[in-house]
Homo-oligomer: A and B are copies of this chain.
Amino acid sequence: MMHSMVRTEHRADLLCSAIDKVGSPLCVGIDPVVSKLPPELAPLSALEGFKAFTEGVIAAVAGIAAAVKFQSACFERYGAEGVKLLGILRSQAADAGLVVILDAKRGDIGITAEHYAASAIVDGPCDWVTVNPYLGWDSILPFLEAGLGVFCLVRTSNPSGDVIQKQKLTDGRTVAESIADLLAKKGEQFVGETGWSNLGVVVGATKPQEAISLRSRMPHQIFLMPGIGVQGGQAKDVVPCFADGHGALIPASRSVIYPTPTSDWQTDIANAATKLASALQVGANE
């Protein structure tokens, strides 16, 4: 397991290379919940079911998706045993050639952020983490200094985020835009050979006009764009955020890992991933 934990390539370059390899910016979100697991796994305990399911998802999407994004909360709700399993599954995803994103949205300052950065790689590998900007730059930098790629929340796909993110500042910008400008500037020092920074951002695919505007503010930030599929975003909405097939990573969870059953569940998942990867490939090449 240790060999996977010490990957030292520039994280944005690594992600671009993974996208090139599969020919699509698809990221499969792994958000296991007991009630949605395939019926065949029902006899298992929750965590045994998560393990069998996630192993099946990894096998089904490796070579189709560039990355997987683990929803930490789904595992944390089962306490220490869930956290342990999450580390094991991250390891398996990395071994299958997938870039590993830990969606934990941590946000704390200084030494505490250092602890969180350490926690992202202690039980298994991790390439990128999601973080929250509300405490400012000193809650973000420690993750970058630990060698991780960072997707910092800027403009989220949920409606209730408007209450902060869409507020207008006296200088004419929204709060989200002001954070975008800060991150664009701070992220310059973390740009790799591909021109993309290890400091990326979360920008919802459900707000395509805002995404285009944010792209112009953040030319070197990779966009992690949730909201495709169940939340209503469409593949065409994310097209303007790409440059030469890079610059955006499109996570899809429910629409890929819980497809309408037609065959065995792993085949269904592979088919759903292939279909979405293909739709996004068009986007990436435009």
Which B residue sits closest to A109, measured CB to CB? B158
Instruction: Give Cα distance in the complex from A115 to B31, angstroms.
Output: 11
Which B residue sits closest to A169, measured CB to CB? B167
A190 surroundings in chain B (CB, below 8 A): none
From B79, B106, B107, B116, contact of A122 by CB (8 A)? B79
- Taking a contact as CB atoms under 8 Å apart, the answer to whether A132 and B107 are in contact is yes
- Taking a contact as CB atoms under 8 Å apart, the answer to whether B133 and A134 are in contact is yes
> Shortest beta-carbon distance, A228 to chain B, in Å?
16
A118 surroundings in chain B (CB, below 8 A): 77
Each complex incorporates copies of this chain amounting to 2
Stretch at the interface among A18-26, A68-76, A237-245, A259-267: A68-76
- Taking a contact as CB atoms under 8 Å apart, the answer to whether A134 and B161 are in contact is yes
From B87, B135, B169, B179, contact of A170 by CB (8 A)? B169
A77 surroundings in chain B (CB, below 8 A): 115-116, 118-119, 122
Q: Is A139 an interface residue when CB atoms closer than 8 A count as contact?
A: yes
A109 with B139, Cβ < 8 A, contacts A79-B84, A79-B122, A122-B79 known: no
- Taking a contact as CB atoms under 8 Å apart, the answer to whether A135 and B156 are in contact is yes
Which B residue sits closest to A167, measured CB to CB? B169
- Taking a contact as CB atoms under 8 Å apart, the answer to whether A115 and B76 are in contact is yes
> Shortest beta-carbon distance, A4 to chain B, in Å?
15
From B83, B135, B136, B160, contact of A138 by CB (8 A)? B160
A132 surroundings in chain B (CB, below 8 A): 105, 107, 132, 134
Which B residue sits closest to A170, measured CB to CB? B168
- Taking a contact as CB atoms under 8 Å apart, the answer to whether A73 and B116 are in contact is yes
Instruction: Give Cα distance in the complex from A197 to B124, angstroms.
Output: 40
Instruction: Give Cα distance in the complex from A111 to B162, angstroms.
Output: 18
Instruction: Give Cα distance in the complex from A107 to B105, angstroms.
Output: 6
- Taking a contact as CB atoms under 8 Å apart, the answer to whether A134 and B164 are in contact is yes
- Taking a contact as CB atoms under 8 Å apart, the answer to whether B175 and A161 are in contact is no
Q: Is A96 an interface residue when CB atoms closer than 8 A count as contact?
A: no
Which B residue sits closest to A116, measured CB to CB? B73
A76 with B116, Cβ < 8 A, contacts A107-B107, A136-B161, A170-B170 known: yes
**Which residues of chain A in 68-106 are interfacial with respect to chain B, using CB atoms and an 8 Å cutoff?**
71, 73-74, 76-84, 87, 105-106
From B87, B156, B167, contact of A80 by CB (8 A)? B87
Q: What are 13 residue pairs bridging A and B, where the CB atoms are less than 8 Å apart in the complex?
A: A31-B112, A33-B111, A73-B108, A73-B112, A105-B107, A109-B161, A133-B164, A134-B153, A135-B156, A137-B160, A138-B160, A164-B179, A168-B169
14 new A-B contacts at CB < 8 Å, known A80-B81, A107-B132, A135-B153: A31-B112, A73-B108, A73-B115, A77-B122, A80-B123, A105-B106, A109-B158, A109-B161, A110-B158, A135-B156, A136-B160, A139-B160, A163-B179, A164-B179
